[in-house]
Amino acid sequence: MNVKTNSTYYKEKVLHPIFTDEKEIPFLYLNDFPRMKLHQDKATSHTSKSTPVLLEKMKNDRVIAYVPFQHIPVMSPDVSPMDCFAFILLTRALSKLILTRIYELWKVVEVEWKSIPFEILRKALLSWKSRCRLIAQKNGYKTEHLKK
């Protein structure tokens, strides 16, 4: 499944809710929220002219820091544990389905996400440091094809 998201959708349905909804990031990470930084890749919906404007506003209004786009390599490998692991599980589950409505998609994502055992997510997060080291050893090149 290869789905493209435009910047309006990304801002309205992804960024705004997770950082302003009291049930999401601010609530889940109450004590750590001031230390958090949003890291994104350079997908076009993330780098449109309006997305950094929103991020800057959120930084000022809600004290949400983000990694500036100029600090992210153009061909950066996906080092995020969620990109490398959790989203792969979700994509596999979703690729087996034929959905016709967006609310069906969100319902399936919610069910699939809740079905991933916490210990599996924990291991993915704990592997992040070694993954970053591997990327540094490979001078920033992608490592998905390498056996670890």
* Contact present, 98 and 1 (Cβ < 8 Å): no
Tokens of 55: 């991020």
pLDDT in tens, 56-94: 888 877 777 888 877 776 665 556 666 667 777 788 888
State the pLDDT at residue 95: 81
Q: Are 11 and 48 in contact (CB under 8 A)?
A: no
**Scanning the structure block, which residue is given the tokens 């789905």?**
3
65: nearest Cα among 40, 86, 41, 30: 40
Residue 14 has pLDDT above 60, yes or no: yes
pTM of the predicted model, to two decimals?
0.50
Q: What is the mean pLDDT of residues 103-124?
A: 84
H-type alpha helices, 67-101: 81, 87-95
How does pLDDT run across 25-53, given as a tens digit for each residue? 656 666 776 777 777 877 888 888 998 88
